[in-house]
Amino acid sequence: MLKIFIGYDSRFPEPTHVAEYSIRKHATSPLDITFLQLANLDFSYKVDEQCSTEFTYTRFLIPYLCNYKGFALFLDNDILVLNNIKDLLNLSMEKYALRVVKHKYIPSTETKMYGTNQVPYARKNWSSVMLMNCALLKKWTKEYVENTPGIQQHQFKAIPDELIGDLPIEWNSLDYMNELTKLIHYTSGGPWFEKYKDCAFAELWNLYRAEWRTYN
């Protein structure tokens, strides 16, 4: 079974619950979903100006948490899944440690939605949705994640380029949606913040939130 981890920030828990609901809504079989909660992890990392969420770096612990076995999927919490997540298992991982959408993303603002500085760097947003072959990610040890500069982790400096495969772009659509979109990522700001309550596709997220509240 694919293990799914969703980023969780104790300051703003609702997006994670709505993201989980969207995954289960479209699933055709049982799922193994874990909220990546900092409070539940034995993890120490010096917070810096680039640490905008509580899961900024803990996402890289996932292979360690899985004992470097099997396949895992990490998702930022500011997403909605619009299709069966298990379709990703149809993608071959035999020769890849990771599959990601290889965005060429240039931020349009100087701050992120959590109020931290928006730092441009190569491979930005690649780590927001990651399909992992945990057996090939043994370099991501707990010690490595705790002690390596964050920008190196988010650029996958420990992973040879030939081991980083592609995810179809529809599985990480940044702030847009079309007939092909299977995952929309509110990376510029989501409607759970007052400042972004009228952002693009806010009505869709609010619909999913209303459904989640109804069933919970």
Provide the residue-wise pLDDT of the chain in tens; the chain has 216 residues.
799 999 999 999 999 999 999 999 999 999 999 999 999 999 998 766 567 899 999 999 999 999 999 999 999 999 999 999 999 999 999 999 999 999 886 665 555 555 555 566 689 899 999 999 999 999 999 999 999 999 999 999 999 999 999 999 999 999 999 999 999 999 989 999 999 999 999 999 999 999 999 998
Rounded-to-integer distance, Cα 154 and Cα 1, Å:
26
Q: Crossing angle of helices 14-26/202-215, nearest 10°?
A: 80
Give the per-residue pLDDT at 114.
55
| 51-89: b (≥16 Cβ within 10 Å) or e | ebbbbbbbbbbbbbbbeeeebbbbbbbbbbbbbebbebe
Rounded-to-integer distance, Cα 105 and Cα 2, Å:
28
Give the per-residue pLDDT at 109.
55
Show the beta-strand stretches assigned E in 82-214. 98-100, 129-133, 164-166, 173-174, 183-185
Strand 164-166 vs strand 32-36: parallel, antiparallel, or unpaired?
unpaired
Rounded-to-integer distance, Cα 162 and Cα 31, Å:
30
Give the per-residue pLDDT at 107.
61
Instruction: Identify the structural domains of the chain with CATH numbers, from first to last.
Output: 3-215 (3.90.550.10)
DSSP label at 188?
A: T
Conformational region of residue 201, where left means phi above 0, alpha means psi within -120 to 50, and beta covers everything else: left
Give the per-residue pLDDT at 111.
55
Give the per-residue pLDDT at 118.
54
Give the per-residue pLDDT at 184.
98
**Inter-residue contact 128 to 187 (CB < 8 Å):** yes
